[in-house]
Amino acid sequence: MKKHIGSALRLTLVLLVILSVIYPLVIAGVGRLAPGQGKGETVSLNGKVVGYALVGQKFTEDRYFNSRPSAVEYNAAGSGGSNKGPSNPDYLKIVQARIDTFLVHNPGIDKAAIPAELVTASGSGLDPDLSPDAARIQVNRIANIRGISPDRLNQLIDAQTKGPLFGLFGPATVNVLKLNAALDSLK
């Protein structure tokens, strides 16, 4: 029994050093190699930080590309979804209200053409990305307000579109904050 207690204590000490010291240092080192050196990737406009690229932000002005709705009002401290299923009457009312609002601000768009991500919140409530199609459906509104050609806006979307990981995993996405910062930087 004494032999096993000694082995258990040595194993505990070794694991304590590995998991409490070595592992966190390795992860912190890997984080330093990531964009933003582990502090988060910031987006700047004219030398001023305007937000973090990996956290969804609210854009509702017609002159900007709208973000995906958030069930937590974009509160990064309390991310989460609504936990309401697709047959929940309250949820259906919220989605219908979002559809109605989108159609008011984007006249001429057919209801069936609205990508679901523009009227439904993500699981975290902080999704920073849209599909290129969800960005493109907003082009005419922004072009009319800003006096920019739709072709130029589509080029901007193409330039900000990030393809699937390794060309295989996941969909193509557009970061809304980066897209709107690029939109503001157009002359």
* Per-residue model confidence as pLDDT tens digits over 3-36: 789 889 999 999 999 999 999 999 988 888 877 7
pLDDT value at residue 122? 81
Q: Mean per-residue pLDDT for 92-121?
A: 93
Q: Nearest-5° angle of CA 37, CA 170, CA 66?
A: 75
pTM score > 0.85 for this model? Answer: no
pLDDT value at residue 2? 75
End-to-end CA distance of the chain: 78
The answer to whether the CB of 108 falls within 8 A of the CB of 140 is: yes
> In the chain, what percentage of residues exceed pLDDT 90?
55
* Per-residue model confidence as pLDDT tens digits over 66-92: 999 988 888 777 777 778 888 889 999
Comparing 148 with 46, which gets the higher pLDDT? Answer: 148
- Average pLDDT for the chain: 88
* Per-residue model confidence as pLDDT tens digits over 113-124: 999 999 998 878
Q: Where are the domains of the chain?
A: 1-33, 43-185
Q: Mean per-residue pLDDT for 106-117?
A: 92
Q: Mean per-residue pLDDT for 103-115?
A: 93
pLDDT confidence bin for 137, thresholds 50/70/90: very high
The answer to whether the CB of 38 falls within 8 A of the CB of 88 is: no
The number of angstroms, rounded, from the C-alpha of 139 to the middle of its chain's C-alpha atoms is 19
pLDDT value at residue 77? 77
| Structure token pair of residue 126 | 């902080």
* Per-residue model confidence as pLDDT tens digits over 30-50: 888 877 777 777 787 887 887
Q: Mean per-residue pLDDT for 99-112?
A: 93
